[in-house]
Homo-oligomer: A and B are copies of this chain.
Amino acid sequence: MSPLAKLLEAALFAASRPLTLEELATLGPEAAGEGEGEEGGEAEAETRAALAELRGAWAGEDHGVELVEIAGGWQFLTRREYAEPIERAQFALRPRRLSPAALETLAIVAYRQPVGRLEVDEIRGVDSEAVLDKLVERGLIEIVSRGEGLGRPLLYGTTPQFLEILGLKGLDQLPRLDELSVALRPPAPAEPE
């Protein structure tokens, strides 16, 4: 492997979350001692090439961990068949499962983002403030902007960590609504309640 590919391997192996191409590019040229004074675009192209090299090296290889594309970035993860014995030996804990209320709220935020609390409340039929707060705290959603209108409500959207816990590359991997058995109405044109 090239020095840059090895550096990327080290960084990805050390990180406990996915690293994006952008982030990996900041490691790049100067750190690996290649080139000088290049522009960002060049560094990114080099990083992209090194990443491809690293992926190639890992694709064929026979390992207990694998390089996975996730949440807009890359991350080393253990192969599926090993999680169970590792957990049984109590070397690591799997993440806590989300409650149905949390998943409901996440689903609404994911599909309607940016979305305010009132809309979430209305769709779920229950007050969702506490659940939203908890999801913000866990870093799965965040306040992305403020709406118009009375009180300029906070609007929520999903974070990269949301994709991370679902193992998705991006939001476009979520099922399309028309693939579901029941169709969701289009966003309502401000109905009077």
Binding site for B on A (CB under 8 A): 1, 5-11, 13-17, 19, 23, 26-27, 31-32, 62-65, 76, 78-79, 82-83, 85-86, 88-89, 91-93, 99-101, 104, 125-126, 142-146, 148, 151-152, 154, 182
**Pick from B26, B62, B104: contact of A89, CB under 8 Å:** B26
A154 to B126 Cα, complex, angstroms: 10
A32 to B11 Cα, complex, angstroms: 29
**Pick from B6, B93, B152: contact of A19, CB under 8 Å:** B93
- A63-B6, A63-B9 as given contacts; A15 in contact with B86, CB under 8 Å: yes
In order of increasing CB-CB distance, the 4 nearest A-B pairs are A10-B64, A31-B85, A9-B64, A6-B64
A16 to B14 Cα, complex, angstroms: 9
Number of copies of this protein chain within its complex:
2
**Pick from B10, B11, B78, B151: contact of A13, CB under 8 Å:** B78
A126 to B93 Cα, complex, angstroms: 33
Interface of A is mostly: mixed
- A89-B31, A100-B145, A143-B100 as given contacts; A64 in contact with B154, CB under 8 Å: no
Residues of B within 8 A of A148 (CB): 182
Chain B: minimal CB distance from A161 (Å): 12
12 CB-based A-B contacts, threshold 8 Å: A6-B62, A6-B63, A7-B86, A9-B64, A10-B65, A10-B78, A11-B82, A15-B92, A16-B93, A31-B86, A31-B89, A32-B85
